[in-house]
Chain A
Amino acid sequence: MVQTLKKSWTTFKTIFTGMGVTMRHLLQPSVTLRYPEERDELPSGARSKLFVHIDDCIGCKLCERACPVNCIAIETVQATKDVDLGKTSTGNPKRFWITTFNIDMSKCMYCDMCVPPCPTECISMVPEYEYSEYDRNNLLFQFSELSADKVTEVKEKAEKEQEEKQRKKKEAARKKKAQKADQTSKAKQKNSEG
């Protein structure tokens, strides 16, 4: 009986201690961030969205290779000799047309592994997190600014140049072969003579 009473007493005591704690909190101001009206300042380097300064991209595809989930898709076409694409803001010369630069943010896992390898610092995380969509396809971000016509034009040009190169290469190879054949035949002759 005494034990029961003692236990009841501790029960009451602990309940009132707990209620005292909650009462203190009831009178305290709240810690809530009123989101749409107030916003927390994100720390520098917060990882919430990938952004590409396409002007600075040199098409080295290092980010594509570094990505563990393969959510970056880059296609490049080598620029022909008659076009000068200029330089990036970091001073690297640009040699490729970036025909596609797609990042699928619905696949991205925000690991930040594509950012450090970039030599021109053109891909980076920006502190913008409000981009929910009704349609998933809108989460595919296309950074390449070339129009479709331009892409085909550039591709044709590059192909032509490539063909030219290939032809030249072949020719050179043929010449080399001929020379080699010449030499070998000469050598053979020598051998047979010797």
Chain B
Amino acid sequence: MAPVTSPQPAAIENRTMTINMGPQHPSTHGVLRLEVTVDGEVVTKVKPDIGYLHRCFEKYAESLGDYAKVVPYTDRIDYVSALHQEMGYVIAVEKLLELEVPERVEYMRVILAELQRIASHLLGIGTFGLDLGAFTPFLYCFIERENILRILEKVSGARLLYNYLCVGGLMRDIPTDFTSDTWEFVTSFRPKIKELNDLLTTNSIFIDRTANIGVLPAEVALNYSASGPMLRGSGVSWDLRKNDPYSIYDRFEFNVPVGQGEMGTVGDCWDRYIVRVREMEESLKIIEQALDQMPGEGDVKEAVPRRIRSKEGEVYVRTETPRGELGYYIISEKSGPYRIKARTPSFVNLSILPAISKGALVADLVAIVGSIDIVLGGVDR
């Protein structure tokens, strides 16, 4: 009988699999494509592929040839926090033209910006919860966000892309019931934060999913020049409203919440999340102070130039948006803008993704992307 030879075992191949996450995927927050190399479910490599929403902002800024006309296009850079995009741009142009803005307008801008910050954080928190499978907190956040949108719509006439700030002032007068509406919102919103904490923040499944995940050490964050909650989540107290005040932010009392690693390591997803929640409370404080101090009378269009006469010069202005540092670099000629470059926080923050998602599971990758809170309009511009 011939000896039975067992077949030689084929060399065990350790093969990785490449999967495309996006451009159509429920948790990429838009049209981001991630080229994910996985070994089983463990992510070995992530490569973000961007450009699916490139909308030629800089080309438009050059082609329109008018500073006023660019404002609605800045809205569309980061459509979740449109007022912040406008504010940065408008401040930059005002600095270039050396315009003085009335007091009332400054207060109004700050209040609107903080309302917008709350709205934007609500969306960020909600979609983060959605990424982790919690559907209901997302809708509760949207109910609150809807209340803010109602105020903003009353002021500007639009729900999402406001085009309300203009160089030197505001596009329209402030409606009479703005103050009372805002007070009403501020008082009704505080208990809702507590409810959100009950439902999501302290939920132990949520903590299990976010603590110690996607840890971003402070050093790495600084090296990648991260900003906003992404940087503050890593324990670095850096907020342009405090550290380099623009507009009238130096008049208000507020804290800069930073990640402390309460549930795990400093700089994990939970820290980034809690920074957003606490920032909403700080924004409420700013709104309350601003409402108290705002002058009741005054023409908001006082300083608005009838025609903007461009000047030669260069200017860089940075502001703190809900996602981080937004910078506008304007090179101006006599005839109008020569080049307007927007430095958006989403793009910079996204670039950290490959560094912090190595070795995570696919489910963690979703959580990490959610905690960065990118807006693809800001990434691709």
Contact = CB atoms under 8 A, between A and B. Distances in A.
B64 interface: yes
A31 B143 contact: yes
A173 to B, nearest CB: 34
A71 to B, nearest CB: 12
Contacts of A14: 202-205
Interface stretch (B68-76, B214-222, B225-233, B280-288): B68-76
B172 interface: yes
Contact of A11 (B140, B200, B204): B204
B136 A22 contact: yes
Contacts of B202: 14, 17
Which of A10, A20, A31, A47: most chain B Cβ within 10 A? A47
B198 A113 contact: no
A112 B143 contact: no
Interface in B174-232: 175, 195, 198-200, 202-205
A6 to B, nearest CB: 11
Nearest to B70: A68
Interface string B151-174: 001100110010100000001100
B199 A18 contact: yes
Contacts, number: 63
B263 to A, nearest CB: 12
A116 B143 CA distance: 33
A68 B69 contact: yes
Contacts of B71: 111
A115 to B, nearest CB: 9
A7 B195 CA distance: 22
A16 to B, nearest CB: 10
Given A11-B205, A68-B64, A21 B143 contact: no
B257 to A, nearest CB: 22
Interface string B84-104: 000000000000000000000
B163 A113 contact: yes
Nearest to B73: A68
Interface of chain B, main secondary structure: helix
A43 to B, nearest CB: 4
Interface residues of A, number: 25
Nearest to A19: B199
B157 A113 contact: no
Contacts of B205: 11, 14-15
Nearest to B154: A43
Contacts of A25: 136, 140
Given A11-B204, A47-B157, A21 B199 contact: yes
Given A10-B204, A45-B172, A113-B69, A21 B157 contact: no
A25 B204 CA distance: 21
Contact of B171 (A11, A18, A110, A112): A112
Interface string A18-32: 101110010000010
A18 B198 contact: yes
A109 interface: yes
A7 B211 CA distance: 15
A20 B153 CA distance: 34
Contacts of A7: 204
B203 A46 contact: no
B157 A22 contact: no
Interface in B313-371: none
Contacts of A109: 72, 161
B203 A15 contact: yes
A125 interface: yes
B198 A21 contact: yes
Given A25-B136, A43-B175, 10 more contacts: A14-B204, A17-B198, A21-B195, A25-B140, A68-B72, A68-B73, A110-B158, A110-B161, A112-B157, A112-B171
Interface of A: 7, 10-11, 14-15, 17-18, 20-22, 25, 31, 43, 45-47, 66, 68, 109-113, 116, 125
Interface of B: 64, 68-73, 136, 140, 143, 153-154, 157-158, 161, 163, 171-172, 175, 195, 198-200, 202-205
7 contacts: A14-B205, A18-B198, A20-B198, A45-B157, A46-B157, A47-B157, A111-B71
